[in-house]
Amino acid sequence: MRKPIIAIDGPAGAGKSTIARLLSQQLNLIYLDTGAMYRAVTWLVLQSGLVLDDELGITNLANSCKIELTPATSEGFTTQVKVNGVDITREIRTSSVTENVPAIAAQAGVRQALVAQQQELGKAGGIVMEGRDIGTTVFPDAEIKIFLTASVQERAYRRQQDLLAQGQPIPDLSVLETAIAERDQADSTRKISPLRQAEDAIILNTDGLTIDMVVQRIIELYRGIDHD
């Protein structure tokens, strides 16, 4: 019998990566940052010179690349990301990758390639996985499904603080709010695995909540399920 899986979905900037990483540490689970995987493929596409609508070429790239995710050692990052042996942890958080990842993530071939990798990595359970379609597509049978959200304003502020911690250029809040709202629209309306709440997911709006409050709430849920 597999170990329980915690699936955390939600829009960009809701705090999924931070919450998932802390849960993995406190519950001794493996943390799988699926967003970093899509960013890694996007970075590869930009480096390769492929045009964004070359879906066959991009799918082949996604199927052939080797993505490695390990706990980060650099301050400001939750996951160290390597693709084909090259550390691209900082590169995948640049504005060019952020702007282009929705177009790459919306492609059926890319999603199929990465979902297959994610399901293989998580088949034994004992993981916390975050993204936008974990509870609906990747692991619809996850024992705990969380839909983590927050207002656009709150998410823009958090994104600004993340960029500051990473030493990246800091846009105005209004610019970030517009970008986040546009990302929400793109993620929610794409044809392949759109962002949506699983019917049996627990909604956690994190406006006004500390990170620890959110983590402890999910830990309570985890400890309340049958692990036998």
Distance CA 108, CA 105 (A): 8
Q: Which of 90, 97, 95 has its CA nearest to residue 41?
A: 97
The class (CATH top level) of 5-223 is: alpha beta
Joined tokens for residue 151:
């207002």
Distance CA 51, CA 89 (A): 23
Rg of the chain over all Cα atoms, to the nearest angstrom: 17
Give me the tens of pLDDT residue by residue for the chain, a chain 228 residues long.
788 999 999 998 898 988 998 999 999 888 888 889 999 999 999 999 999 999 999 999 999 999 988 876 666 676 789 999 999 999 999 989 999 998 999 899 999 999 998 998 888 899 999 988 899 999 999 999 999 999 999 999 988 988 888 888 889 999 999 999 998 998 888 887 788 899 999 999 999 899 999 999 999 999 987 655
Residue extents of the structural domains in the chain: 5-223
Greatest alpha-carbon span in the chain: 50
Q: Indicate the SS3 state at residue 226.
A: coil
